[in-house]
Chains A and B, each alone.
Chain A
Amino acid sequence: MTGEIHAHLTRVTRVYPAVAGNPPVHALGPIDLELRRGEFFAIVGPSGCGKSTCMDVLAGLAPPSEGEVSFEGNPIRGSVPDGVGAVFQEDASFPWLTVWDNAAFGLRRQGVDAAEIRRRVEYALGFMGLRDFAQAYPAQLSGGMRQRVCIARTLVLQPRLILLDEPFGALDAQTRLLMGDELLRLWRETGATVLLITHALDEAAMLSDRVGAMSARPGRFLETLETGWPRDRDSSMLEGETFGHITGRLWQLLRSESQAAMGHHPDAAQGGTRREAG
């Protein structure tokens, strides 16, 4: 890791405009985020705090209401820059295409030649454990497998910045851990910068170099923790003591925020910025 800044958000806020009588929603920020080239960064935060919004802004899918976004030194305006690949929270696989065709979707559009498409798709499907399902349709797969199809579809584009929005939301805890290992392998092999959004504190703590803990809406970073893991880590670190410290600290940060997001906090002022003492 060189410490070079790969993408950043500067004083970014996002307010969803008022629609049909509903007031505008201040979903995010202001936040600052600097992603270093090649790092694995995780965002954790209570439901509805603006994590997906943050990803949309970073990917160029939604404009910031205020602030600046840039990727590889160039400002992002109105479109997704080359080199950015996103996997969304919702199932975005195409039910009318086979797994193979789903994965090849982006490459076909770019006019990549057939041999190269085959090479990349086969690699991505193998990587995601979908080789045996290449000719299956998404309807024949589980939710977690469909999400892996979407990851493969993004992976073949060979993005330098990979944004993943709760990609394992549909998985059980054990499979999540295994997929986490796969994700680490992917990260190491591609050398890409990875931004992972998750609501699982252990997942964030185990996978990332840094974890940003977000407040309740409008989301801001309460604290960014450095995990200090070596690059060739895996889920076996779960047993270590450090892991406990990190998740403990994350929970300490997020407990009251999560309560606020659920409307349980006694002093849950609208859009407040409560911070846990500590």
Chain B
Amino acid sequence: MTRLAWIRLAIVLGAFAALEWLVQSGRISTHTMIPPTRMVTELWAILASGELTGDITQTLGNVAIACLLSVTVGFVVGAGIHAIPRLRRALDPFLTTYYAVPFFVFYPLLVYIFGMNNLPMIAIGFMFAVVAMIINTLNGLDKIPRVYDKVARMHQMSRASMALRIQIPAAAPNLFTGLKLSVAYAFIGVIASEFILAPGGLGYAIAFAYDNFDNETMYALMLFILVLVTAINMTLHYLEQRLLRRQGF
């Protein structure tokens, strides 16, 4: 581990230790918060009992589908928009103001359309994530130096080969940013929807615990989501570093 990684770890552990002390010493009421060590043991018990395995797999499955869809659709649509400048000029205002729209207001409508199943949550996750991918695909394609076009033609490359061997690698840093944002947004979209109304899932389980004053389960699951998302982000970060570090990005 690098020095910086140690410092980060120390910050996280320090925060946990502080919280532990605040709760254990009674400065924060146990009605409001449970000590982090309890969260860990509680989480361990929940995971071991298997009672929430179904919810966890449901959430992860929905997030994975929303991610996959938004990354592929976002990339294809982004590349398409990039290829048609007029379409792009027309769409630009929509893209830039997109995240000002509170999507969750559409959730009831989606439930009404798709029914009470996974689809509305995947749809929200997708809506949330796809535009991040579109925007980053556009940014990436914009940054490709025009001279690469000439290089490709000098090497007598086909359109497909140029896309694969030059354009995608050249846009890779931005595509990766799009991917990372899509993962994060898909998580937010899915879990928040589950929180509102769902047949199951982590967000639903947290809401359920909350409604039943079950602090232990609620905090344990919150910790679980934090750890999960952090782990996924760190993995992506690591991959990105490995892929792009030496290129000077």
Contacts and interface: CB of A to CB of B under 8 A. Distances in A.
B235 interface: no
Contacts of A92: 145, 147-148, 150-151
B155 A61 contact: no
B248 interface: yes
B165 interface: yes
Contact of A88 (B151, B155, B156): B151
Contacts of B153: 60-61, 79-80
Contacts of A105: 155, 165
B225 interface: no
B60 interface: no
Interface string B151-164: 10111110001000
A154 B157 CA distance: 14
A86 B147 contact: no
A90 B147 contact: yes
Contacts, number: 61
A89 B148 CA distance: 12
Contact of A61 (B150, B166, B244, B246): B150
A106 B165 CA distance: 11
Given A106-B155, A137-B247, A139-B246, A96 B150 contact: no
B151 A96 contact: no
B172 interface: yes
A85 B155 CA distance: 9
Given A79-B156, A109-B155, A109-B157, A95 B150 contact: no
Interface in B130-175: 145-148, 150-151, 153-157, 161, 165-166, 169-170, 172
A60 B154 CA distance: 9
Interface of A: 56, 59-61, 79-80, 84-86, 88-92, 94-97, 105-106, 109, 137-140, 154
